[in-house]
Every structure is written in structure tokens, then in C-alpha cells.
Amino acid sequence: MQNYVLDGNKDTSVEDFQIRDNLINTLKERFKTYGYKQVRTSTFEYYDLYSTITGTVSQDDMMKVIDSSGKVLVLRPDVTIPITRMIAANQGSLPADLRLFYVLDVFRQNQEQSDRKETTQAGVEFFGDDKPENNAETIMLAIHTMKDLGFHNFKLEIGHAGFFKELIKQTSISPQELDQLQNLIQSKNIAEMNPFLDQLPIEEDVKSAIRSIPLLYGNPADVIRQAETIIRNTEMKDLLSNLVDVYEVLKDYGEEDALVFNLGLINNMDYYSGIIFQGFVEHVGKPLLMGGRYDNLGEQFSSPMPAIGFAFEVDDLLNAHDQEKLWKEKKDPLSILVRYEKDRQKEAFELAFQLRRNGWQVLTYPTENTTAEYVSADCSIHYTGELPQLELDGKLETFTDLKELQRILWEMGSED
């Protein structure tokens, strides 16, 4: 269940592709019900687009190519940035609240997953103000989609990118030290974090607050109370208040049981500026979705533009589905083989067209074509006598029109 790209060296069945398509269709249909419209971006982007934007994918992880003019291109390493650029360029002609979704491949290379350079992401981008209602609705869409996929024992961790950043502003640590500290906090490695902090030139009360960050995890009400004890300025107070406001709206959706607060949540994409979140399923060791608010990204395209979004890793969803054994076999329409004499061809084609229009699977063959003998189908229709006949399990039944035929087919389908 791990490979969904046709590869002669790998064992991938046609059924795997059908499962994948069904899952993607589930995502797309749910996104649409929240008012999102599908978009796409170019597979190839100019390297300069990413090299000049801060807080994006590491340049070492990008897959680069040279075009015929000598310019450096990259295979799409991220979707949010090109969509934001597209919206910034057309902002004057777009609605104030714009909801977009995508299902696109992204390309990255890193040492941890050297054999996985291409993945599919399905995500949403909501270009709208930083209001509790907008943030809560986006998080609710993530929850709703997880339920659609059959995951019921899942948790959505919610944090705030600005809370930790405001705390770090009160220190003078180097970018390298900050990177190491963030990794320790993200992994909740308290044993190594404490001695690491001890050697840094940071005030003791700030060190104490930083030590608390990985522990600010769990029931939202409890985390809020604990976080209030380490607030050091008005900015941190306002950020926590923003998180509380979102939680109050989410409670009206009735999904408190799915929510966990995690103020030690640090996303690898530094362009996140506000509320951030990720979704976990029990027994799956990595997040299946990640997202957050990125109100400052548009400024890098000279167009201030608040926004929030999230993305699923489709292959990770498929693997999680497989681990949780959540697959439900989808019942396909009956497959029908239509055989016809040459002088009945027009009738046969007209019937096949109507059946396909109504969702049935239909293959047509003239009676002299022996290939049809090897075609697998649930039933067959014969245009050889005065009236067409439906054959099922060796039994023949005559019908006069499409309505009568479909009645028989529906009865047959309901018996399976």
C-alpha cells in the first residue's frame, strides 16, 4: 500500500490506484462543501521564487533543473508559496474571503527519505482576516475531513507560532542555537534541553519559561492556565487570548474531544505567524495533516494578505488507513457486456450510451468478435433476436425498454 506510481520494479495493483482516487475524491468533496474552489500551480517554478522567500523549504532539499535558456528551475517543493504569489498578483480582482484547494505533487529530496522524492499533497488555503471564526472554521474542516476518511480516534494539536517567538525575542541566541532549541522542544527532549539552556546567556526567568514550553500540552483549559503563568509581555498575552478565542468558537462546533493544545508545537515552515495545528491518528507516528496561519507571507510579494491553510500528505493518509484497517470496499455498479449483430448495432449503441449515462459500466462487442468471450462482466445483453435479452447466471430475461432493463438491473444489484 505504499507505492502509487506505476513502476515496473514495484508491486502496485490497479486496485491501489482506485483506493487512492476514492480517498482523494473524498477530500475534494469535503473541501467543496466549505466553499473551496480547486486550483493548480505549475510543476516547474523559477528557483528565485523560493531562494528569495524566507521561511520556506531548505534550498538543499529542492530538486533543481536547468532550462534551455540556462535559468535554474525547481520542481514544485511547496504549494502555499506559488498560490500566495498568484493571489498577490491578482488581489485587486479577487473577493475578500477567498477559499482555494489543491491536489498536487510536491518534490523534495532529503537524507531522511532519500527514496521518496515525490509526494501528493491535498490542502486548502483560506485568504481571509485573522478572526476566531475563520480560524475555527478551517480547523473544523480538518476535523470534518478526518472523520470522512474514517479516522475517529484522532487528535488535532493546536498551538501558536507567535507565542514561542515572542519568548525568544527576549534572548540573544544565534540562529544555530535557536534551531537546536526548537528541535529539542519539538521532540520534547527535556533531558537534553535543560543542559543546553544552562549554557546559553539567557535570563533565568526566561529560561524557566522556555523550559515550560514543551510541557504546555494537553487539555486546552489546563494549558491555558499554565501558559498564563509564563506570560512576560502584552504581546504574549494577546497571542494567548487569540488562541482562547478560537477555542471558544470551536466548542460551539461540539468537537472539544478531538482537540489538544500544544504550545510546544513548532512547524518547519517559518512563514507561519499565528495559530498552527497538526492532526495525529493513534498508532501512526507522524502527523497526517499540518497547517496554520501565515499572515506575513503575502508581504514578501509586496501584497499584505492574511491567510490560513493546511495540507494532508496523501500517501501518509493511505498508509494510515491501511494500518487502521479502515478500508471499506466500495460497491461498483454492475458491469454489463453488450453483444450485438451488425444490423442491431445502432440499438446496441443507443442502449449502451443510456446505461453509461446512468452510471453503469458497459462494454460493447459485435457477436463475431471472439475477444468478448474473455471479458469479465456481471451480466450480458444480447441483440441477436427480435427482442434484446439480459443474461445472468445462465438465465435469459427479455426486456422491451431501458426502464424495464434498469429495474431488472437494480433488483439484481440489490441482491448482491
Q: Does 6 reside within a domain?
A: no
221/123 same-domain check: yes
373/320 same-domain check: no
Whole domain around residue 361: which residue ranges? 335-415
198/238 same-domain check: yes
Domain at 360, CATH number = 3.40.50.800
What's the mean pLDDT in 270-287?
86
222/287 same-domain check: yes
Q: Does 2 reside within a domain?
A: no
| Single residue among 273, 291, 324 that ends a domain in this structure | 324
For residue 168, the Cα-to-chain-centroid distance in whole angstroms is 31
6 pLDDT higher than 70: no
Total domain count for the chain? Answer: 2
**Rounded Cα distance, 329 and 331, in Å:** 6
**Rounded Cα distance, 146 and 142, in Å:** 6
339/256 same-domain check: no
Could you give the percent of the chain with pLDDT greater than 70?
89
**Rounded Cα distance, 24 and 28, in Å:** 6
304/402 same-domain check: no
244/343 same-domain check: no
Q: Does 257 reside within a domain?
A: yes
279/374 same-domain check: no
179/52 same-domain check: yes
For residue range 27-39, what is the model confidence (pLDDT) as tens digits?
A: 999 999 999 999 9
Q: Does 50 reside within a domain?
A: yes
Cell numbers standing for residue 292:
496554520
150/191 same-domain check: yes
pTM, two decimals, is 0.78
Q: Does 339 reside within a domain?
A: yes
Q: Does 9 reside within a domain?
A: no
Q: Does 5 reside within a domain?
A: no
Contacts of residue 2, Cβ cutoff 8 Å, sequence gap at least 6: 315, 318, 319
Domain at 102, CATH number = 3.30.930.10
| Single residue among 305, 324, 343 that ends a domain in this structure | 324
Do the Cβ atoms of 411 and 366 come closer than 8 Å? no
Between 45 and 7, the more confident residue is 45
Contacts of residue 72, Cβ cutoff 8 Å, sequence gap at least 6: 46, 47, 48, 64, 65, 66
| Single residue among 265, 293, 324 that ends a domain in this structure | 324
For residue range 111-164, what is the model confidence (pLDDT) as tens digits?
A: 666 667 888 999 999 998 999 999 999 999 999 999 999 888 899 999 998 888
367/290 same-domain check: no
What's the mean pLDDT in 205-210?
90
Residue 12, pLDDT score = 56
350/310 same-domain check: no
Q: Does 8 reside within a domain?
A: no
The count of C-alpha atoms lying within 13 angstroms of the C-alpha of 199, restricted to the half-sphere facing its C-beta, is 7
416 pLDDT higher than 60: no
- 1 pLDDT band (50/70/90 cuts)? very low
**Rounded Cα distance, 405 and 329, in Å:** 26
